[in-house]
Each structure stands twice: as structure tokens, then as C-alpha cells.
Structure 1
């Protein structure tokens, strides 16, 4: 039996020449599903409960009994009955012969989802950087730690909390960028707010996180839903203690929210908040969305969290596609603010939203490069101190002499080859190497082989910040990095010295983090990895941004610098804790607080210190500034203006202003268009698998206001109508499906004040029709052969063929990919006599083995159009159809790195009643693949991308 949308062809391998790897198990769509696992939502609508005379709890038990009555053996994975008004249901593990259709037909079941894998966002690498260790396998990383104990030192003695004065004079760089430092200087630290982190576990023995777990400790509540050995596929081993030291991610995220004051100069955004952690990942692998749903339920129902952070996810495409999204939308109605990372998949292009970040009320957080950077000072004899970057001060004592492996600042391959025999003894020196050409690990190894012990790598001119460097197994004692300008300055000192330039490194108590060290390349811009939106529903994604690159925070045994939207999200969660604590008396709902945080954000430029604003599909409402959110007292709604596409264009929007000041306020309206990007880098008739978001020079929309200026008294409220005139584009520009965006600007001046504040509302629209966006990929970009196609072994079908199901190559497999999201996707078995004109030719690859990789398009063999209506196509039965609305496939950042669908064709299908049937063998068939284009009429055949295969005969 074909598993529902799971790539079952893992055993089939294709060998390209010369690389012996190719078609792997699909992971974006099929591989995101955990076999035999399902989440069932029980129908607890009032009318249903009233008709059946049940409570939500008895309805759940009756539904479980109905599962058993259907002869379905099962094991309960998780129960979801703590908050029946939010979600009532359970997740089950069943046999491979039980499909979604069978479970959905059971009395009492409202909706069914297969359990999906969720991942920690993909590790961000930078140019020539290859990490020695990473967040999922950190063992080789150097721990420049201050902790000497073990987990057995974890006691319930409680945390010695630093006083509020310890956070005054905050110069921690992400806090300066976002207004958090201003609030810390006022003593606003998040007191009275509960923040729950759902992540990979936390090393609470780190003294900066309080040193213990439980009542009286800084990490005072939580739960482990996973256990060390859980990898997403096996049985979790839950327990009450969320401790984990085998991964960095959860500890780093938790520190960004609430790290306590310490000698190193960093702290969490909300160090006085009450913190908890829910572990949903083991030491390696993925997690399951039913575990995350269970963690959300516990965080709300058991621990009463005010804010929940989730730095995890996978591609989803849509707003209402998972049980988690349903639950999160409910949480916003009962006072819980949910914050989630938007993902590190910018390379995948637009329309790549991820769950659980995508949601009507969830804060989906993109990442910016901070203006300032983490650095410590090195003392250079006879010269001003020079800042260097490392998680903690280098553990180097005494005086050392500088040595540059090359004094040519233009060298591109410094230390990429073994150092020459003439190199002096390096064991007592600080060796300085320039970045470029080869990986950092190669440079460090070559210096170590020449006797070096301490290394500083300085950046290339114009390159983004060097990530954290680690000694790994090189044998080095310590390694750090320098900005380009600091490397050049140090080189000038070196060249001026006659006897050798002396340098020393001070401990943190003497010289903690250096304030105001600027990133002069990309500081203040969107990070190069932060994912694009919008959702397939044309909803704003991400909703907001925050610094996520080069973030210094806690890791097991010390401190570490990590980058990603995973780091931006907890900063926003901490910012919300400050806002809720400071404005508790306003009793704002999560929706109001979200709108306030968005409207007081600061817009991000598309170039370094440029004047053109970056696209809203990348920055959302802009980078948070929580000081502005605390101090500015006008509520602006809605938080975004969604113009839709040209087919469903929404020209007029009502903006509501509510003045909470004690004086009258005058508001003036204006607007500024932002960067417009292309969804495709060629017209959509030549679809690319992964869009390349090029900037397009087109005029943005024209915007007018029913009132350009308005004065509201204290407590006053008013509405202003904003009207848009969409840009008019001609072919072929409109075929690029441009996404245009910008910001409505509302300048406010309080009576008697000489200064003003600006509120902003992002707007976004598509200059084209969503119904024109391709769904089925028809290129060879990912697989080296144009999809869709059928193959057995290494042979792609190019004409009529007979397959033996018991042959050495096994049954044939249908390979296809999605270039766009769809709400209806189906692979059907049809009679071989039908020859329709599908949108993609039946044969695009010539008769050959896959290793040759030559692509040649062929004309369609169709001779007649499809029937006008979708339902009128005479299919034998459905081979496979997804349980959910699939997003488009990965090309770069998936586990393979691409993803695809790989459906085994063994003659099984489901008839109109949902019963599994076996097609008679010895007969000839075709398969028909159809994907509905977004917003197109699902009843019409013309609304679908389609592919009709060449005929094939199935023999035993």
C-alpha cells in the first residue's frame, strides 16, 4: 500500500556521473511525515456535542472507542484535552495499512493530519566558513567555559538573582539596536511575566542561567517531551527535567530571553521574567509536531505562560494548515503571545513561509544583522586597544608578539597552503591571518602545523561578519576574529614595530564586551539567510524582525555566538515581556500588543545605510524598537494592509487610531514604497523551481488618504480610509509576478511637544494573478532530468513500456516536484486510451539512463483538451493525494538539499469510496498529475497544472 505522501522509494538509488548520489527520499512534503502517525481533532462544536449529549472529554473517549471499533490497532502518542475550547484530540501510532481516509471517516473525527517533522532552522554558514561543530553536534567545539562542575551540581538551592542595578548602563549590542537597553536603564526587566521556551533543552547549570532548575531558580518550570535519544522517528522518553547539554540551540535561545547579569557584559532581554523550558528535541534529529502541540498545551494550561517562543519549524506555505496553527490562533484570544522564527531559507526565494511561525496572530520573526558586534579588547603596547571577536575573552595569559603570515593586505589565499619552512617558531606568538579562498578550518590547521597556538583571522574587505571560530581538533589554544579595519590597523602596528609588536588579552573583569563596535558592511540590513514570505494566502510573513546575526548568548558550559532567525525570535519574546511588564495597566490583548510592536518598529534599508526600504516580504513591519512601543501611546490597527493580487485587488482600507495620551495628538499621513522583488526571474511561462528575488524597477502603488491630517483629543478614536492604486504593468514584466510593498507613515505630535513620533503600517500586493503562478515544476534544475517523469532503476520512461513489479529494479516510481503551493494535488490512475493536452508534455527527457543528464523537450502526445470540469475527467482511481495543502519544494536548504515527491506505482489506488483497490495487471495505464493553481476555481480543469504520463503496462 502506498503511504500517504511519503516518499517510499528510499531504496531506489540513481547514480549520476561522476557523483554517486541523486534521488533521495523526498523530505519537504513526503519526508515531513512520520509514518503511521496521525493527529485527530475530535468534533466538539456545540451543535455536535448537544446532539450527542456529550462533553468534550466524553466525546474524545467515544472517538477513541470508535477507532478501536473500526478494527484499528493504535497506541496513543499524545492527548490534547487540557483546553477543549482550543483543541480536543489526540495523536496515534497505527499500522502502515491505516491511512488518513480511514481515520477521517471514523465517527466523531473532525479533521486528521499526519504527524509532521519539525526541525531546528538550518545552520547558517557563511562563504568560506565550515563549522567544526554545530548546534546538533557540538562535541568538537571549544568550550571557553567558566563552569567546572557537572550536572550533579544542579541543586534546588535557588538562584542568586543580581539586583536591577546590575542591568543599568546596558551596552549589549542587540539591546542598543532595539531599545531594550533604554528600558533596562529604567529598571524595566520583564518582572511579572512568564516566558516559556519550546526548544532543544537547556543547560540551566550555566550560572548565567541561574545554575539550577525548579522553584526558586531562574529556570523555574518546564518539561522534557523528548529525551536524549529521540530523533523524530523513534519513541520519545519524556520526563520532568528539560536539561540538555548535548545541543547548543535551546540554551542559546533561553539566554537571549533571560540571561542574568555577568562579568562578560551580556544579558537577556527580560532577565527578571519567570522562565521555563520545554524540550521537544533529542540530541540529534528532528521533532514531531504532536510533541510541539503538547508543549504548547502544557505551557498554557499547566504553567500559564504569557509568552511562548518557538525557534523551530518547516515549510508550510499556508496560514491554516496544521493543528499547531489552530492552537496558536486560539492562544492569542486568551492572552498568550506566540513568537516563532521565520526560518533561514532566504535562498529558496519568495512564498516560503514556515510553521509554526505562519499564523494569523503569531509573531513570525525575521533576522537582521545588528549594527553593533560582540567584541573584547586586546591591548597593543604603545597603541590604542584593538577589538576582537570571540564568545569569551581568549584564554591567553602574558605578553605575546604579533606575527602576520602575510603582510600583503590584498592577499586572497593567506595560509591556505602549509606555511613555508622559513616560518619562525609560532608557539609564543599571536598569528594573524587574512580571510579568503579556503575554509577557516584549513587556515587554522596550517597555522597549528607550523607550531601556532593563538590565531586571529581578520576579515576581507566588504565581507559580512566572520562567524564564531573554534579550535576544534586543530591543537590550537585559542582563536578569534577581527573586522577588516581592525586587521589593517593591527597590520600597520606590526609593520611599524622594530622589535616585534606586543599584544595581551585581558580577562572580562578588566575589559568586558566592547560597546559600539560597528558592523560596517551589513549592520542594520536584513540578514542574508532570513526567509522570504509571503504566505500562499498573500498574508504578511515575516511579521516583524530583530537582530539575529552574531548573537552572543549562553551555551552548555559557557558562551557562544550563533546566527539565525532562531536568535531573533527570543529577542522579540523578551521584548514582549518588557512591554507587558511596563504597560500592564493598559491590559492590552496580544493582538493589540502585536499591532503596537509592529507599528513602532523601525524600517530596514535594502542596502547598507541606504534610503530605499527593503521589501516587506523580507522585513515584515521592520525591526522592533521596544522602547518606542513602551513610550508611544497610540494604538494603530490593523497592523498590516494586504492588497492581494490583481484579480482580487483590495484598494481601500480603514485605519483606526486610538489616542491613549493625556493630551491631544495631531497625526499626519504619508507613505513610502519599498523595494519590489520578482517572484520569478523570467516570465512565468518559463518557470524556475526556486525563484530568484531580483529587484525590479517599477513604480509602486499610489496612495491617498481620506484625511491627510487629523487631531484627536485625549482618549479619542478616529478612522482614516487609505486608498491604493495598484501599479500597472505590461507583459513581460507582469509575468515575473512582482511583489510590491511599502509603508503608510503616520507622524504624531503631542500637544505642547516640539518632537514627533512615527507609526508605520506595512502594505503588500502582487502585481499579477496568483492563479497564474505555476504549481508543477517542469524543469531539470533539481534532479538533473526534467520532471515529472516515471523511472525504474536508472531508466526514465520516454515512451510505451512494460514494467515487472517483481523485477530486479522494482516497481516504477513517479517523480515530481512543486514550484508553487497548491490546495489540491492528486496523482490518478487513468486508462491508457486517453490523450489529453496537459500543461506539461508527457515526455521531456529522451530515452536514456539518468547518468547522462542530457535534457531534450518533446512535444505533447495529447490530441484533445481536458474535459472542462475537474470532476469530469474519467479516472480509474486516486493513487495518492496529500492530506494537507502542500507548500512548494525545497531546492537548496532541504535535507537533501532539494525535496521531491516519489510515488511508487504498483497498481494500487483508491476508488470513489476511499477503498483501496488493485488494478488488474497485464493492462496498460497512464498516470495523471494535477495541481490546482492558487485562487483558481477548483471545479475547472483549466485551473490546474497537469501532466499525463506516457502509457505503461504493469506485469506481475
Structure 2
């Protein structure tokens, strides 16, 4: 037996037994500033057509079987798209107090839930059981804009052709309604109409959450008013108001993408940025019922399985004909397979982020010169850079090891502002630390085109500069010994060095079933828009949260353009049309290779082209899956909806590839992703096409994946391009993606887990861990903790089974009901825990019984058999198996 520090287990989600094929886990560590999120809350989805009647039947069944249990029913979903109810389960205390959940131990609660939900799942009433989980709002920073800045000059409308739609097509979205599910809105803002209700721009919606949810309470306080009046002291940044402005803002110097649409706002996040998935579900259904034409959602959770409840309901809304646009997520730094739910829902427009081509930069000047220099504050917590004299930060400044050694820093830096070049011989933080140690008053490090965050150990102001500006300052130093810098807080609009490329934060696909998400992109990096007036009225934010509403508003322009044409207005057709005419980014301005579809989807929306080009290709993208499940040949249908002959040449434009894993032993993800140049070849049934108006033609495409080592699981991609041979017709592109290798060969467990530990923390924060040759003694009569299993996942799994074996090695049943649809564990993320109560679910003629039985005293072992990625649940060879040490039960 060894000891494990308990900090490794903090905030791990406790998994309990659930019905087979119904339990979706979404572990989430919520911010410490939030109130404790209630446990043992679930969404019960009924299989019948009358939720009210099924609720009564379920209540009667559970009250008869569990008289010592408190069952609190909450939200009722009696909707065509969702029949269900929320329920909280607790144990009654000795006085039968209904607020007795805290009176029961964690182990007793888990035991109770195992019994209750097995009964629920065997009742014949239930289709799915989902845990109610917390969902945090996007962690978005805001840059309040100076009133002197002309906001219209940094609008991304030229990038997305929205300017042409407004000017040439006279289309501003009038008559279309966009429903937003977000943090609320300051509808009194002049650019957002000044009011709420009939006759105003913001006409629909409600508040599902209240201001204080997550602060001192997790009880929603709903009302009919979606107003966001949250002060800055709550941490609120006005996310929903910013989103609304991107869609429909309208003022003298600012125009949203669709400035004349009608808005609805369903507020689901409190001032403290917390909600839960059941609240979001209710808002989605209400927005759908209100008759909105589009739903825009800038929210989500880190889980790529399309089976989550939010993704499932989004898919149903889309099937009913309402497009749903969802931000893909801001977890790009965590590598591949980071697209979140519900953006992974089948049919959703899953949106990546491109950077704006314009940016507002802080600038400083040089005395005696009219030139200004843009910079990024990399250490804002220390304070602003002060005016001062610039000196060289190294005796050989401009070399490859500037300031990496204190001995090479001249004494002249003391009390001065030191200039140094980024080094590949030491970290930038070390450079800044060394300059501070040598006495510099501030550090200017160049060769960066974006903000470089410093560590807490950097104790001086530290700014990042571009290579061009750094070299210009270095030239000034060579020509003068008295270069004085002035920092006066000025801002200027500049060309963004990363403009029109995928934002660094944008989540990378695909989903866990290898579908292509994201599937489209909008501008989300450095986007100006409205803020609540108490927070400054105007500001800049970055995130896929900003990209999604821009695309939602683009869809509004599309629906306006084709109003009354049902054939061209289905969610599937709209997505395909925007994909057909999207702009593909290069990997970076230093790398001209095309960015992978796993990062940019089909590319950045080109709204004018999508609205004016008649030829159409379906499907809009292709997923070739992995090598084992590959469908090498797909059929594309090109339809000419125009009135002139079109002609194309077919090409294969390969993109950069992704090397998802650090090595072929641990198979831990590269965080951030690592890219390569492994491309696929394509065979086309036709190399050229000439098509008359009103005609269609099928094109078969066959992939030849790159011949890379299957153990590397290279993620390849590219774009099938129909190169137009006529001036009036634009090129059409269809993204494709696939994986070389068999996903079933990837390990599921990581970091030496599963581990057998104790549910009670030991002395000094140490938790014992039992090894393979140890015996865990579990005395049910003593209060010494229960066996607990700790799990981290290198890769996602759709199911973990938990067979219980007796001392003769015979399986007698299951310890838990299957754990399902579990996300991979990022390097900085939390894992999972499951506690065993000494009971098992027995089998009778291969059928698992609905209620658990206590095991007899004796020795047992518990297996945790994880289904391999894309494995077959009915194939025992598709399991990664782990067997616990012996557990002696008394």
C-alpha cells in the first residue's frame, strides 16, 4: 500500500450507478467563487408521450419502494421534443425532515442512488437518465473601448462579406428573429433598441436564473425580464449584451451583422456566470416554442460525445427545421478533440474562431519621433510600464540568447527599460526575471505577434513587441544613446498580425465519433460590440462565443434572402451552402499551408457568396473516420440552381495534419496540438464537370490516406475544390478529414489509474492506495470508509462496466451500473471517482436484476472494463480491462 496526496482527488466527480445506455457524465470543476452545486440531481427523460402522467406513475412507484427516501421533483419537460422531469434524491433523517440530504453520508447517498435509479430504469417509463451538471459561462476577458476609437473601423464585416450584403443586396435581416441563450442583455442600450417587448428590437425571452445563482444560492429565481444589470464586482463582463450587439447592434458608428433582425434573449447565466444543463434545456425548448428562426448559443461543456442531453435536444430542434448555431469552444490549447457539447450535436453549425484583421493596440512613443509602437501587456498585475530610457538588455542584444544569463546583461539596465529579443535558449519569463534581477525597471521582449503571459515570478512590467518593431527600436539604440519612451495610455487601430487565421484558443475537432466539428468559422478574435452601460457600453472580446453570433446573424441574412423558399432554407442546406463558399485560412502567416478542417471546419463564412452563388454541393463535408471504420468512397451531388452553364475542374488541396499524441506509450495528447504535413490523395470519378442550369451530377471521391505509422494516429484533412472555369461562378470547396489508425488500439486509462483508494482522507491529507498484491479490508460495521476507485482517461470512452468477481474468479454481477459517455481528461483537468458500497447487481439468465444485493462476507475483486474508443459494446475484445486488488468484505 502506498499514499496518494489528497489534492489529486479534489473536485473529482463522484460517479454512481445508472441505467445501461442512459447515463452521460460531464465532470466539471466549478469556480471556487461559486456556491456549492447541489448533488444527486437528475433529468429523467420519459419514453411516453405524457410527461405529467409518467411523472405521477414514477412518483407512485418510487414512494412505494423507497419510503425512507426524499424525492423532490422539479422542472417538468412536457414538450414534443423532450418529455421528462428533474428529480433530487435524498435520505430522510430520523425526524423525516425533507431537507435531510446532508444527514446521509456520501456512501449512503451513492448506495441509495444505485438502488433508486436501477428501479427507475427498470420501470419501463424511462428513456434516458442524465445527471444535472453545472455549466460555467465562457471565461471571457473584455477590453473596454476608448470613446475616441471609431468602432466601425474595426468591424470584421469586410472579412465575411457582410458589408457587401448590406450595401449591394440591401439585406439587413428585417423580419427574421434570432433567439439567444446567454447571460441576459442590457436592452436599454441605445444600440440595442432601448427597451424590451412589443415594438422593440429585443422582443422575446425571459430570465431563467436570476442574479445571485451560484453566489449564495443554487436556487434559480426566474422572471419574465432578461435584463443584465450585473455590476463589475460580480465578475460579469456583459457576455450576452456583447453577443446581441454582434448580431443586431445599430448606432451611428457601429452596425451588427443583421442590424434589423428581432432578438429574443433567454437568460441562463447569473451575474456569477453559473447555470446547469437542465436550465439550458428549458431555455432551448422555450426559444423553439416562441417561433424564433435561428437559435444562437455561445456556451458548452468539455465533452465531445453527441449523446449529451444538450446535444440531443439541439439535434431535435434542428430536425424540426430551426438552425442552431453553437460555439465550438475555447479549449484549443488542450489539443485535438476539444470541441464541446452541444456544438457536437448532429446538424448544428459548430463554429470555430478566426482573428479579426484589425486590432486595437496600446501604443507607446519615442521622444523626438512621430512613430508609435504597438505592444501587448504581458504582466498587467504588476502595473503599467512607466516612461523611461531604453537600453540594450544584453551585451549582444539581438542574438539568440538575450538575457538568458544575468552575466550577459549590462549594468546600464539598472532603473532603465531593457530591450531583448525572444530566445530559444531560455523561456521568456526567465529573460524577464533576469532583467529584473539586474535592476531593470521594465522589460520589452520582441519577436512576438501576440500577448505572451508571464509567470507570477516576473516582478517587473513586461511587454511583448513584434519582431519588426523590436528591430526598429534596436536600430534607434544603435544610432542614439538617449532613446526615451513615453507610455501615455494611447490606443490605435492596427492590422492584426494574426488576422484571417484561426484563433489560438479555438477548439480543435473532431467530435468523439470522428465527425467534423467545428464545421464552419466566424470572426471571434478581437471583436467589438456593445456592453451593458454600467460596464462601459462598448468593448472588445475574443472567443468562439463571438464567432457563433456572427454566423447566426449571417444565417438570418440568408433566411431573409430566401424567404419563402423552403427547399433552400432547411438547416442542412444552409450549413452546406455556407460551407461550399467559405474562405480557407493558411496555418499561419509564416506557414502558407492550408489550415486543417479539424481547426477551421469549412473555413470562414463568406456571406455574400453564400447568398448569391447558385451552384450547390451536398454533403458539405466528408468524414472518412479512422482506418478500421473508413468509408473510402463518398458521393457528392453538384446541383446547378442558376440560369447559366457552370464548369469546374476538381482538385485536392491538402491541409496540415495533426499529430495528436506526445508519444506512442502514454498516448497523452499534445497540449497544444502539434501539426505536420501528412496529406491524403484523392481519386475523382470526374476530373472536369460542365453542368447546364437545373441539372445535377454525382461525383464519387475516393480517399487514399497518408501512409503514416498507424500508431501515431495522424489526423489528416484537406479540401476538395471545384475550381470554377467561368468568371461569374466562384470556386466550391468541401472539407474532408480522417484518422490513420485504429482508435480501438488507443489506451483509455492514464496516469497509472484506475487506483483503489479509500473514501476517507487519511492523516496529513494522504490517501492510501492499494497495490495489486495488497488486500483492502472493508468492514461494513465500522465507519472506516468504503473502497473508492480513481480514474483518469487518456482517451474518451462510451462505457465502463464494473463486474464483481468472487474468490473463485466467477462473475456474480456488477458493482455499478455502467458509466457512460465520459470525456477524456486534459492534463490540467479533473478525473473521476466511483465508490463501492459492498453491493452488486446480480444476473439471472443473462439479465441484470433491477435491485442490488449485499455481497456475503468474503473476498472479491472489481473490474473496470472500459470500452475502447469506437469499440463494439458486445465485443469483449474491445475492452480495456483493469482488475482491482482483493477486497475483503466483512
- Measured against the shorter chain, the TM-score band is 0.7 to 0.9
| TM norm structure 1 | 0.74
Match of 1:657 in 2: 638
Alignment check: 8 A CA contact 1:370 1:519 kept: yes
State how far apart, in whole Å, the 2-side matches of 1:630 and 1:219 are.
26
Alignment check: 8 A CA contact 2:376 2:465 kept: no
Alignment check: 8 A CA contact 1:200 1:244 kept: no
Match of 1:533 in 2: 509
State how far apart, in whole Å, the 2-side matches of 1:926 and 1:726 are.
44
Match of 2:296 among 288, 309, 315: 309
SS at structure 1 position matched to 2:591: coil
SS at structure 2 position matched to 1:768: coil
State how far apart, in whole Å, the 2-side matches of 1:459 and 1:119 are.
35
Match of 1:549 in 2: 525
Closer, same or farther: CA 420–495 of 1 in aligned 2, 3 Å = closer
Q: Alpha-carbon deviation of 1:539?
A: 0.8
Q: Alpha-carbon deviation of 1:589?
A: 1.1
State how far apart, in whole Å, the 2-side matches of 1:602 and 1:87 are.
37
Q: Alpha-carbon deviation of 1:262?
A: 4.6
Q: Does residue 182 of structure 1 match 2:164?
A: yes
Q: Does residue 524 of structure 1 match 2:490?
A: no
Match of 1:757 in 2: 730
Alignment check: 8 A CA contact 2:867 2:879 kept: yes
Q: Alpha-carbon deviation of 1:256?
A: 2.4
Matches within 5 A, 1:21-100: 21-27=7-13, 29=25, 31-32=27-28, 35-44=39-48, 73-81=70-78, 83-84=79-80, 86-95=81-90, 96=109, 97-98=112-113, 99-100=116-117
State how far apart, in whole Å, the 2-side matches of 1:180 and 1:591 are.
22
Cα shift readout 1:75-118 (whole Å, capped 9, x = no counterpart): 3332222x41x222222223243443222233432222222332
Matches within 5 A, 1:155-304: 171-186=153-168, 187-231=170-214, 234-242=218-226, 243-245=228-230, 246=234, 247-248=236-237, 249-263=239-253, 266-284=254-272, 286-302=274-290, 304=291
Match of 2:346 in 1: 360
Q: Alpha-carbon deviation of 1:225?
A: 1.0
Q: Does residue 773 of structure 1 match 2:733?
A: no
Match of 2:756 in 1: 790
Matches within 5 A, 1:299-378: 299-302=287-290, 304-319=291-306, 321-375=307-361
Alignment check: 8 A CA contact 2:329 2:507 kept: yes
State how far apart, in whole Å, the 2-side matches of 1:769 and 1:348 are.
22
Closer, same or farther: CA 935–122 of 1 in aligned 2, 3 Å = same
State how far apart, in whole Å, the 2-side matches of 1:635 and 1:57 are.
45
Q: Alpha-carbon deviation of 1:765?
A: 1.8
In structure 1, stretches of 5+ residues that fail to align are: 1-12, 50-54, 124-133, 136-141, 148-165, 392-399, 425-430, 781-785, 835-873, 893-897
Q: Alpha-carbon deviation of 1:791?
A: 2.2
SS at structure 2 position matched to 1:327: helix
| TM norm structure 2 | 0.79
Cα shift readout 1:508-556 (whole Å, capped 9, x = no counterpart): xxxx973xx3233x33332222222212212111111223223333333
Match of 2:864 in 1: 929
Alignment check: 8 A CA contact 2:446 2:465 kept: no
Q: What root-mean-square deviation, in Å, do the aligned CA atoms of Structure 1 and Structure 2 show?
A: 4.2
SS at structure 1 position matched to 2:304: coil
Alignment check: 8 A CA contact 2:757 2:770 kept: yes
Alignment check: 8 A CA contact 2:172 2:557 kept: yes
Closer, same or farther: CA 815–390 of 1 in aligned 2, 3 Å = closer
SS at structure 2 position matched to 1:606: strand
Q: Does residue 567 of structure 1 match 2:549?
A: no
Q: Alpha-carbon deviation of 1:597?
A: 0.8
Cα shift readout 1:55-92 (whole Å, capped 9, x = no counterpart): 676566656666666657533332222x41x2222222
Match of 1:847 in 2: none
Matches within 5 A, 1:725-764: 725-729=704-708, 733-750=709-726, 754=727, 756-764=729-737
Closer, same or farther: CA 458–197 of 1 in aligned 2, 3 Å = farther
State how far apart, in whole Å, the 1-side matches of 2:428 and 2:187 are.
37
SS at structure 2 position matched to 1:275: strand
Q: Does residue 816 of structure 1 match 2:791?
A: yes
Match of 2:611 in 1: 630
Match of 2:883 among 943, 948, 952: 948
Match of 2:661 in 1: 680
State how far apart, in whole Å, the 1-side matches of 2:404 and 2:504 are.
24
Cα shift readout 1:305-360 (whole Å, capped 9, x = no counterpart): 222121211122222x1232222122223332111111222233323331111011
Alignment check: 8 A CA contact 2:376 2:451 kept: no
Closer, same or farther: CA 94–21 of 1 in aligned 2, 3 Å = closer
State how far apart, in whole Å, the 2-side matches of 1:312 and 1:388 are.
32
Q: Does residue 885 of structure 1 match 2:838?
A: no
Match of 1:117 in 2: 134
Closer, same or farther: CA 927–581 of 1 in aligned 2, 3 Å = same
Match of 1:705 among 666, 681, 684: 684
Closer, same or farther: CA 214–496 of 1 in aligned 2, 3 Å = farther
Moved more, 284-293 or 797-806: 797-806
State how far apart, in whole Å, the 2-side matches of 1:560 and 1:927 are.
55
Alignment check: 8 A CA contact 1:325 1:356 kept: yes
Q: Alpha-carbon deviation of 1:594?
A: 0.6
Higher strand share: 2
Q: Alpha-carbon deviation of 1:930?
A: 0.2
